[in-house]
Chains A and B, each alone.
Chain A
Amino acid sequence: MATVATRERVSSDPGRAKPSKRPVGRWLSDHLVLLVGILVLVYIFVPIGYIFALSFNQPSGRSATAQFESFTWSNWTSICEPEGLCDSLQLSFEVSITATLLATLLGTLMAFALVRHSFRGRSTSNLVIFLPMATPEVVMGSSLLAMFVSVGLDSVLGFVTIVIAHVLFCLSFVVVTVKARLVGMDSRLEQAAMDLYANEWQTFRLVTLPLAMPGIVAAAMLSFSLSFDDFIVTNFTSGQSVTFPLYVYGSKLRDFPAQLFVVGTLMFLVSFVFVIAAELWRRRRSAIR
């Protein structure tokens, strides 16, 4: 809007009117944003397009290749055929869901404590919360493994230790996300609720929680995606268990089943649907306004 207004003012100024070369510049300034946007989209979607296309590929040998040989549905109908693939997917879902629930719960409580209560060491806690975010994952993974071994958990390395590790690094993200939401919240709303006969629990349930919810949901989604595709920390703490990222990495070393492309495409589609649904919901809400 602003650029349009400026341009109109300039061109209506008779002393400054210079018709030469103006159309090209104008066309560029009008379409530059669009152009750059399209380029960025292409950059993002071309690799995904490859995955999508290759999920319909019938490789000639046992291992998938980058060469598109012939079209087939068979990869889509036999996702669980490659040995261990679906087991690893299941483990990944179990780990991510558990870690997300725990991290969101703990992180939300921590965010409330950090925003709503002043206690000794609050500013230190605020700082320490950031540490896991700043620590290189290899360092975190190796030190976690060392710790698990030294406290005697080496025999049970697997689901439990992976979840512990994932909760650890998701926690900081949850705290930061929820905190941002809480800081922007007017505490007078809660006071108004109390003034209107809501006791502490009702105030939390009816006012605080609904207002904090967008932050909590965002934190949970972030946690899930962080946990689901984590490779480095998981690699250190998984013992004999194989999560999906570990499976993919392992397949790279052996033969690479084309079904992995199918799983990749499916995951992309699911998150795509999520994003679209969230956007539609947001629009419907703002349309009421």
Chain B
Amino acid sequence: MADTGRDLRVEGLTKRFGDFLAVDDLTLTVPQGSFFALLGPSGCGKTTTLRMVAGLDDPTAGRVLIGDEDVTYLRPYKRPVNTVFQSYALFPHLTIFENVAFGLRRRGVKDYKQKTLDMIDLVQLGPYAARKPAQLSGGQQQRVALGRALINEPAVLLLDEPLGALDLKLRRQMQIELKRIQTEIAVTFVHVTHDQEEAMTMADTIAVMNHGVIEQMGAPGDLYENPETTFVANFLGQSNLIRVDVIDTVDQDVVVDCYGQKVGVVASRSHAGGRNAWLGVRPEKVFAEAAGADHRVGSNILTGGRVTDVSFVGVSTQYLVAMPWGQELMVFEQNTGQRPLFRNGDQLDITWSPAHAFLLDADQDARAGVMTPEDDE
């Protein structure tokens, strides 16, 4: 695992379709053996990026390297890269066995029969080896696609939304399975998805992609806790974004004016340049108190809130709190049963710790990346 000889490196990768810029100057490094997730909304260029890495499309500019080898213009069958296609692309005229054995036989591997049977067992399709793809369920086909690619032990395995067609239960099951296989064989996985939960649970590193560029890249926790753009703040989980004026920096805190009330943000979490900024805080980091009560959590306090909506969702209760300047903020509270729920119309103060907020550049659209119900299948 420590061997970095087969890292996947992408440098300045660009793809144009006519006037349309599908992938824009993409640069990233995926360490060998890591699980890398490419996360982004539909049409942001994820598939196009994978296709260039696999050699199925030529880039307009830029390079693809595996280890030190430049594979940018190498034919697909000469690259140590295999793909699990978004639509599986199983060969309909071949049996499951022949599908899985395809890669090994092309490379003239001698004992391909045994290896193929082992792989079919690994993806738990033993009884189906003699069937044709059309005789399998969606989840089984997905496992064939996975086995067909994995068996070649590529340096890099590209997975293009391989779980997209599965129902929720099977999806969770396959996520665990995939993660297990990846840990077992230590192959570099590049996993494309537009399901943020999937990316966060599975990946070592996530790159959030939007309109052909990478907005932010990092460990799932870092990305979630300290987003650098409004798109990331909204696309990964939910965020309250409040318009503020930056006043001053005191010690390690940036002090901002939030419609007349002063709050602080840890300086390392400020990604804003100008005088204005978006103050962001996650709904579950905000604590609600009855107006005027002793504030137990955090040193940032905004007073004058009023509950306008209470949704009980089992593990938590989600409040909408109208602030004096008219904006409604989200506050999620665990249902610990320690205190009674607030009701519609209750007056509240809300508080949080400066270490949990973040500041984003004011030029950005505060609603970028917000999931509308239609997006969320």
Chain B 144-157: CB-based contact to A (< 8 A → 1; otherwise 0): 00001100100000
* Contact B75 A194, beta carbon cutoff 8 Å: yes
Check if A191 is an interface residue, CB within 8 A of chain B.
Answer: yes
CA gap between A195 and B99 in the complex, in Å:
13
* Contact A288 B56, beta carbon cutoff 8 Å: no
CA gap between A207 and B131 in the complex, in Å:
17
CA gap between A230 and B135 in the complex, in Å:
43
* Contact B76 A191, beta carbon cutoff 8 Å: yes
A residues 194-215 near B (Cβ < 8 Å) are: 194-199, 202, 206-207, 210-211
* Contact B135 A196, beta carbon cutoff 8 Å: no
| Chain A residue contacts of B75, Cβ below 8 A | 194, 199
Chain B 35-70: CB-based contact to A (< 8 A → 1; otherwise 0): 000000000000000000011100000000000000
- The minimal Cβ–Cβ distance linking B143 to chain A, given in whole angstroms, is 16
Tally of A interface residues using CB under 8 Å: 19
Interface window among B21-29, B79-87, B213-221, B296-304: B79-87
Most buried by A among B81, B83, B107, B152: B83
Check if B103 is an interface residue, CB within 8 A of chain A.
Answer: yes
* Contact A188 B77, beta carbon cutoff 8 Å: no
CA gap between A206 and B102 in the complex, in Å:
10
| Chain B residue contacts of A210, Cβ below 8 A | 93
Contact among B77, B92, B132 with A288 in the assembled complex (CB-CB below 8 Å): B132
| Chain A residue contacts of B54, Cβ below 8 A | 195
- Given A196-B82, A197-B106, A288-B132: A191 and B77 interface contact (C-beta under 8 Å): no
| Chain B residue contacts of A195, Cβ below 8 A | 54-56, 76-77, 81-83, 149
Compute the total of residue contacts between A and B using a CB distance below 8 Å.
63
Contact among B92, B106, B134 with A196 in the assembled complex (CB-CB below 8 Å): B106
* Contact B91 A189, beta carbon cutoff 8 Å: yes
A residues 166-220 near B (Cβ < 8 Å) are: 186, 188-189, 191-199, 202, 206-207, 210-211
CA gap between A191 and B54 in the complex, in Å:
10
Check if A22 is an interface residue, CB within 8 A of chain B.
Answer: no
A residues 208-252 near B (Cβ < 8 Å) are: 210-211
- The minimal Cβ–Cβ distance linking B10 to chain A, given in whole angstroms, is 18
CA gap between A98 and B76 in the complex, in Å:
39
| Chain A residue contacts of B83, Cβ below 8 A | 192, 195
| Chain B residue contacts of A207, Cβ below 8 A | 91
* Contact A186 B89, beta carbon cutoff 8 Å: yes
Residue ID in chain A nearest B102 by CB atoms: A196
* Contact A211 B56, beta carbon cutoff 8 Å: no
CA gap between A36 and B103 in the complex, in Å:
53
* Contact B91 A193, beta carbon cutoff 8 Å: yes
CA gap between A199 and B77 in the complex, in Å:
6
Contact among B89, B107, B134 with A197 in the assembled complex (CB-CB below 8 Å): B107
| Chain B residue contacts of A202, Cβ below 8 A | 106
Chain B 233-245: CB-based contact to A (< 8 A → 1; otherwise 0): 0000000000000
- Given A186-B89, A188-B87: A194 and B56 interface contact (C-beta under 8 Å): yes
Check if A289 is an interface residue, CB within 8 A of chain B.
Answer: yes
- The minimal Cβ–Cβ distance linking A49 to chain B, given in whole angstroms, is 40
* Contact B89 A191, beta carbon cutoff 8 Å: yes
CA gap between A192 and B90 in the complex, in Å:
8
| Chain B residue contacts of A189, Cβ below 8 A | 89, 91-92
* Contact B56 A196, beta carbon cutoff 8 Å: no
CA gap between A203 and B102 in the complex, in Å:
11
CA gap between A289 and B85 in the complex, in Å:
23
- The minimal Cβ–Cβ distance linking A205 to chain B, given in whole angstroms, is 11
CA gap between A8 and B14 in the complex, in Å:
62
* Contact A196 B131, beta carbon cutoff 8 Å: no
| Chain A residue contacts of B102, Cβ below 8 A | 193, 196, 198, 206
* Contact B93 A196, beta carbon cutoff 8 Å: no
CA gap between A189 and B88 in the complex, in Å:
9
- Given A195-B76, A196-B82, A196-B106: A288 and B91 interface contact (C-beta under 8 Å): no
* Contact A289 B135, beta carbon cutoff 8 Å: yes
* Contact A197 B91, beta carbon cutoff 8 Å: no
CA gap between A194 and B91 in the complex, in Å:
12
| Chain B residue contacts of A192, Cβ below 8 A | 83, 85, 89-91
Chain A 264-289: CB-based contact to B (< 8 A → 1; otherwise 0): 00000000000000000000000011
| Chain A residue contacts of B107, Cβ below 8 A | 197
- The minimal Cβ–Cβ distance linking B351 to chain A, given in whole angstroms, is 54
CA gap between A121 and B89 in the complex, in Å:
32
| Chain A residue contacts of B106, Cβ below 8 A | 196-198, 202
* Contact A196 B85, beta carbon cutoff 8 Å: no
* Contact B148 A196, beta carbon cutoff 8 Å: yes
Chain A 135-179: CB-based contact to B (< 8 A → 1; otherwise 0): 000000000000000000000000000000000000000000000
* Contact B77 A198, beta carbon cutoff 8 Å: yes
| Chain A residue contacts of B89, Cβ below 8 A | 186, 188-189, 191-192
CA gap between A186 and B91 in the complex, in Å:
10
**A-B contact sample (13 more), CB < 8 A, given A192-B89, A199-B75, A289-B132:** A186-B87, A188-B85, A192-B91, A194-B75, A194-B77, A195-B76, A196-B82, A197-B103, A197-B152, A202-B106, A211-B93, A289-B134, A289-B135
Chain B residues at the A interface, C-beta cutoff of 8 Å: 54-56, 75-77, 81-83, 85, 87, 89-93, 102-103, 106-107, 131-132, 134-135, 148-149, 152
A sample of 8 cross-chain residue pairs with beta-carbon separation below 8 angstroms, ordered by A number, consists of A189-B89, A191-B76, A192-B90, A192-B91, A195-B83, A196-B106, A202-B106, A288-B131
Chain A residues at the B interface, C-beta cutoff of 8 Å: 186, 188-189, 191-199, 202, 206-207, 210-211, 288-289
Report the 10 A-B pairs with minimum CB-CB distance, sorted nearest first: A197-B106, A196-B103, A192-B89, A194-B76, A188-B89, A197-B77, A196-B102, A195-B83, A210-B93, A289-B135
